[in-house]
Amino acid sequence: MRKPKIVVLGAGYGGLMTVTRLQKALGQDEANIVLVNKNDYHYETTWLHEASAGTLHHDRVRYDIDSVINRSKVEFIRAEVEDIKTDEKKVVLNTGEIDYDYLVFALGGESETFGIEGLKEHAFTISNVNAARQIREHIDYQFATYAMETEKKDERLTIVVGGAGFTGIEFLGEITNRVPELCREYDIDYSKVRIYCVEAAPMVLPGFDPELVKYAVAHLEKKGVEFKIGTAIKGATPEGIKVAKGEDETEEIKAGTVVWAAGVRGSSVIEKSGIENMRARVKVNPDLRAPGHDNIFVIGDSSLIINEEINRPYPPTAQIAMQQGEVCARNLVKLIKGSEDALETFTPDIKGTVCSLGDDDAIGVVFGKKVTGTKASFMKKMVDNRALYMIGGPSLVLKKGKFNVL
């Protein structure tokens, strides 16, 4: 009998959770499992702000996919996904086409630029290992050039972070630790460096606990961050950014580095595929399948789950992507084994949110309790280690874990 073929797209949190659970639950004779990813490594997206600032080497944030999959059960294809032909049950890769019986779409999200002029060309995004490496190298280059040039351009040392959401704040926590090191390395007066955070909403970390937000702002201001709140970025140029000033005017902030951290949308492959979506995210059925597509599961940042209590989408997180991966795998096993039981409904189990403020400080709400300082920072590292454990077990934690916990 022909074995059903499950194709999992993406080796991020959602995709790897699905594959590692499937390889345990299904025998070699029960299904063909294929994993497709553009790199032969997985990266911890949740650590990319550290690699971007240069406070953690980029090799620390990634590991070989081979180290967590069982190659006797899972075929790995290194390729870029370009499209899905749902009618023909085929995935279009840059290397050719593959067919599937069941598809798991877990390609994550992409930066949302809201069509703002110049951002794609002149701003960096914290989106993958190479993008992180480029930000680190660029900031280093600006400092090195400043040290060398006879006519000093002070704006080289200005760093603008667009968006004071969790990504923007976590990056600011790291870069404020890195800048003093850079100043020492290149003999630059620290007072020449400007770090701006520009946020369109009237507060930092909109919607988060106000007391914790106050703590984070005080911590970052003490380290030199200048917040421009209630100020929308309207454009980016080779010289910096344009921000809204009054009704119709804009003001320029000259900056050598602009990091755009103002939101995510789903994968552009979803939009191409014709699967119904909102900003490239699929409002999935309770069992995580795409409406009208009984053989396609969508998980992680390309899925949209509504929090019924407030009637708004859950913010896309690794926490949710991993939980979805587990449920998706169990539902696939039911389908493959021909179980008569109904498929499992996915409900996020939010254990909390911790936002780092550099290596030794953080803020968070964990199991309903507020935490700050070293305690919160310790918890953040435990959350990071847990993600490694869930996918690769204790050996991966020993290899890649964060043990500088005190």
Residues catalogued as catalytic: 170
Of the candidates 22, 42, 24, which has an alpha carbon nearest to the alpha carbon of residue 33?
Answer: 22
Figure out which of the listed residues 256, 316, 358, 364 binds ligand FAD, where binding follows CB under 6 A.
Answer: 316
Count interface residues toward ligand NAD (CB under 6 A).
26
Chain residues 238-277 in contact with ligand FAD, contact rule CB under 6 A: 267, 269
Q: Which stretch binds ligand FAD (CB under 6 A): 196-204, 242-250, 314-322, 388-396?
A: 314-322
Q: Which residue is nearest to ligand NAD (CB)?
A: 165
CB 11 within 8 A of CB 66: no
Q: Which stretch binds ligand FAD (CB under 6 A): 12-20, 139-147, 154-162, 181-189?
A: 12-20
Figure out which of the listed residues 55, 70, 134, 317 binds ligand FAD, where binding follows CB under 6 A.
Answer: 317
**Which CB, 146 or 166, lies closer to ligand NAD?**
166
**Which CB, 144 or 201, lies closer to ligand NAD?**
201
Partner whose binding site includes residue 206, from ligand FAD, ligand NAD, none (CB under 5 to 8 Å by kind):
ligand NAD
Chain residues 367-406 in contact with ligand FAD, contact rule CB under 6 A: none
| Position 216 contacts ligand NAD (CB under 6 A) | no
| Alpha carbon separation from 139 to 143, 167, 182, 222, 287 (Å, rounded) | 6, 18, 9, 21, 44
Residue 105's contacts (CB-CB under 8 Å, 6 or more residues apart) are 9, 10, 84, 267, 269, 270, 282, 290, 296, 297, 298, 299, 302
Of the candidates 286, 241, 288, which has an alpha carbon nearest to the alpha carbon of residue 260?
Answer: 241
State the Cα–Cα distance between residues 302 and 328, nearest whole angstrom: 14
| Position 232 contacts ligand NAD (CB under 6 A) | yes
Partner whose binding site includes residue 168, from ligand NAD, ligand FAD, none (CB under 5 to 8 Å by kind):
ligand NAD
End-to-end CA, the chain: 56
Amino acid at the residue 375? K
**Least distance to ligand FAD from the beta carbon of 181, Å?**
20
Q: Which stretch binds ligand FAD (CB under 6 A): 6-14, 140-148, 157-165, 285-293?
A: 6-14
CA dihedral sign of residues 299, 129, 376, 175 = negative
State the Cα–Cα distance between residues 184 and 209, nearest whole angstrom: 36
Output DSSP code: residue 239.
T
CA 238 to chain CA centroid, Å, is 26
Figure out which of the listed residues 14, 163, 173, 358 binds ligand FAD, where binding follows CB under 6 A.
Answer: 14
Residue 310's contacts (CB-CB under 8 Å, 6 or more residues apart) are none
| Position 48 contacts ligand FAD (CB under 6 A) | yes
State the Cα–Cα distance between residues 218 and 114, nearest whole angstrom: 30
Chain residues 32-61 in contact with ligand NAD, contact rule CB under 6 A: none
CB 262 within 8 A of CB 168: yes
| Position 198 contacts ligand NAD (CB under 6 A) | yes
Figure out which of the listed residues 3, 5, 38, 73 binds ligand FAD, where binding follows CB under 6 A.
Answer: 38
| Position 6 contacts ligand FAD (CB under 6 A) | no
State the Cα–Cα distance between residues 58 and 276, nearest whole angstrom: 36
Figure out which of the listed residues 112, 174, 199, 301 binds ligand FAD, where binding follows CB under 6 A.
Answer: 301
| Position 53 contacts ligand FAD (CB under 6 A) | no
| Alpha carbon separation from 140 to 11, 59, 179, 183, 258 (Å, rounded) | 30, 18, 10, 10, 14
Partner whose binding site includes residue 392, from ligand NAD, ligand FAD, none (CB under 5 to 8 Å by kind):
none
Figure out which of the listed residues 165, 240, 325, 392 binds ligand NAD, where binding follows CB under 6 A.
Answer: 165
Q: Which residues bind ligand FAD (CB under 6 A)?
A: 10-15, 37-39, 42, 45-46, 48-49, 80-81, 106-108, 126, 128, 167, 170, 267, 269, 300-301, 316-319, 321
